[in-house]
Amino acid sequence: MSYLEEFQDRVSKISQGGQAKYHQKNEEKGKLFVRERLRRLFDESMNIEDAFFANCMDESLPSDGVVTGIGKINGQSVCVMANDSTVKAGSWGKRTVEKILRIQETAEKLEIPMIYLVDSAGARITDQVEMFPGRRGAGRIFHNQIKLSGRVPQICLLFGPSAAGGAYIPAFCDIVIMVEGNASMYLGSPRMAEKVIGEKVSLEEMGGAMMHCSVSGVGDVLVKTEQEAIAYTQKYLDYFPKNFREKPTVKDKKGVKQIEKNLADLIPTNQNVPFNMYDLIDQLIDEGSFCEIKKKFAPELITGLARMDGRAVGIIANQPRMKGGVLFPDSADKSAKFVQLCDAFNIPLLFLVDVPGFMIGTKVERAGIIRHGAKMLATMSEATVPKISVIVRKAYGAGLYAMAGPGFEPDCCLALPTAQIAVMGPEAAVNAVYANKIQELPEADRAAFIKEKQEEYKENIDIYRLASEMVIDGVVKPEQLRDELIQRYSLYDSKSVTFTERKHGVYPV
Amino acid sequence: MEIKATMAGSVWKIAVAQGESVGEGQDVVILESMKMEIPIPADSPGTVKELKVAEGDFVNEGDVIAVIE
């Protein structure tokens, strides 16, 4: 064989990945070949690939089961690592790990996003001494991820299993997109669970995509196909700058979605009646620009990226339609991570407030709602990007605080005319203050007394009174809210603030 | 299919009758919790086979409210 022939023979064999039977197996599950995934992910093809010949002395391990390199998404260069599950089930050998470490270190040097296409059975046990415990072992992958966190966006597309230690790759990413039916995360497989702790459980139930995206919250976005995961990644990345030093690019402006209803009619005046917060969001953002994160997890709080007049903004909104919009431990965690994500990459924040408060009762106290709520407050408080809160209707108790109330240095706190700010709602307050008095009254007089006291209470917390006291910075008609916000975000663009000087806070977790 | 309470509260209103057919997203029961109305909709269309609660009952998160077939 000539030099050229040998070269071409090797390139052609390595490019094909593992054995045909594994390709076929993947195809049956709707899984694309790793190189096809990358072709679809990038604007064109991958621009450069590193260590294509890794472990080429062993023909059964093409590229040692992982592809690493740099390509462009929406014109922006990004680093990528992608497991090849046709090669020993995408397991990690010594060189696999070294390749992953090197591409992470490249992302750190170039300060560009790092994307992980995960489809791996975990450690290659036969290589454990070389790949597991040492300085350049798999632990270093997570160390690198933690170091990259907040410097560059890190995205995980989970196409297959992510087992044991490998499950920490998604855990340290900003966002995890999971393909239903194929993606899974778990520390110990169902087989191991049965052997070690005697639990009988299916993979889907224990670590499937639906479970993680709706119950555990380790997954963020549930999709049906790999193509959908790729499309979501492309959309999501468009809201981000390439690293923490830069701001997101402002895109072409678009109008809002046209609806027949009057905006004011969407928002019921009775504070206790639910409404659909998505309808209000639609009327504030550029049409079609909403990129929701954790849609299925803690749906009583909506978090997502959007554009207003082309400018990226992160929205945190209570959803009265789900669980009354009450805050729970999960909703607090959801907000904490999202606010950190936006603040890290200079995406302004918008809080849409309609919250009866944090949930009360034994169940949530035992779940530690106080420390979870503290996380929500801490991250929101620390965020130094332009930060606006809009009191849509009620903002009761610590709910006001958690949703960027005036005490937490929002750049402004606006209210709609339907707003009501108080320690608690009129019903609960009258009950709390006058419980004994009500008991003493003859039953026939009670209703009238309660009504009278509630009216008094409402006057006391009247939104114009709070505007007069400058608790809030303005009262805005719903129809004018979008324009008001666009103006303000554009004017706040030059905001540059350091929260405080210290090594780091001692975070409530 | 079981319709479960999404949070602790009391049953404020039962919006359907036994034997009635319901559409996806239609409210089956409205709870009252934290002074808020909490609608509990059906996840998929069907017929109300059984109502497990009465108005005024306290329910915990995860309690079965109704069975839809």
A329 in B contact zone (CB under 8 Å): no
Annotate A193-255 with three-state secondary structure. Answer: HHHHHCCCCCHHHHHEHHHHHHHHCCCCEEECCHHHHHHHHHHHHCCCCCCCCCCCCCCCCCC
CB–CB of A272 and B38 under 8 A? no
Q: How far apart are CA A25 and CA A19, in angstroms?
A: 10
Q: State whether residue B59 is helix, strand or coil.
A: strand
Rounded alpha-carbon distances, angstroms, from residue A38 to A54, A233, A338: 18, 12, 27
Residues 6 or more apart from A246 whose CB is under 8 A from it? A346
CATH number of the domain at B2-68, please?
A: 2.40.50.100
CB–CB of A323 and B7 under 8 A? yes
Q: How far apart are CA A37 and CA A177, in angstroms?
A: 14
Q: How many CB atoms lie within 10 A of CB B3?
A: 22
CB–CB of B36 and A361 under 8 A? no
B8 in A contact zone (CB under 8 Å): yes
CB–CB of A321 and B39 under 8 A? yes
What's the pLDDT at A291? 98
Q: How far apart are CA A88 and CA B48, in angstroms?
A: 51
Along the 509 residues of chain A, how does pLDDT read in single tens digits? 899 999 999 999 999 999 999 999 999 999 999 999 999 999 999 999 999 999 999 999 999 999 999 999 999 999 999 999 999 999 999 999 999 999 999 999 999 999 999 999 999 999 999 999 999 999 999 999 999 999 999 999 999 999 888 889 999 999 999 999 999 999 999 999 999 999 999 999 999 999 999 999 999 999 999 999 999 999 999 999 999 999 999 999 999 998 888 888 899 999 999 999 999 999 999 999 999 999 999 999 999 999 999 999 999 999 999 999 999 999 999 999 999 999 999 999 999 999 999 999 999 999 999 999 999 999 999 999 999 999 999 999 999 999 999 999 999 999 999 999 999 999 889 989 999 999 999 999 999 999 999 999 999 999 999 999 999 999 999 999 999 999 999 999 999 999 999 999 999 99
A321 in B contact zone (CB under 8 Å): yes
| B34 vs A273, A321, A324: nearest CB | A324
Q: Cα A425 from chain centroid?
A: 31
CB–CB of A274 and B8 under 8 A? no
Q: Are A370 and A346 in contact (CB under 8 A)?
A: no
Q: Are A45 and A39 in contact (CB under 8 A)?
A: yes
Can you spell out the DSSP letters for A269-315? SSTTS---HHHHHHTTS-TT--EEESSSSSTTEEEEEEEETTEEEEE
ipTM computed for the complex: 0.91
* A216 φ, ψ (degrees, to nearest 5): -80, -30
What's the pLDDT at A166? 84
Q: At what angle do helices A139-148 and A94-110 cross, to 10 degrees?
A: 10
Query: Residue holding tokens 């990690």?
Result: A92
What's the pLDDT at A344? 98
| B35 vs A274, A322, A356: nearest CB | A356
Q: How far apart are CA A16 and CA A19, in angstroms?
A: 8
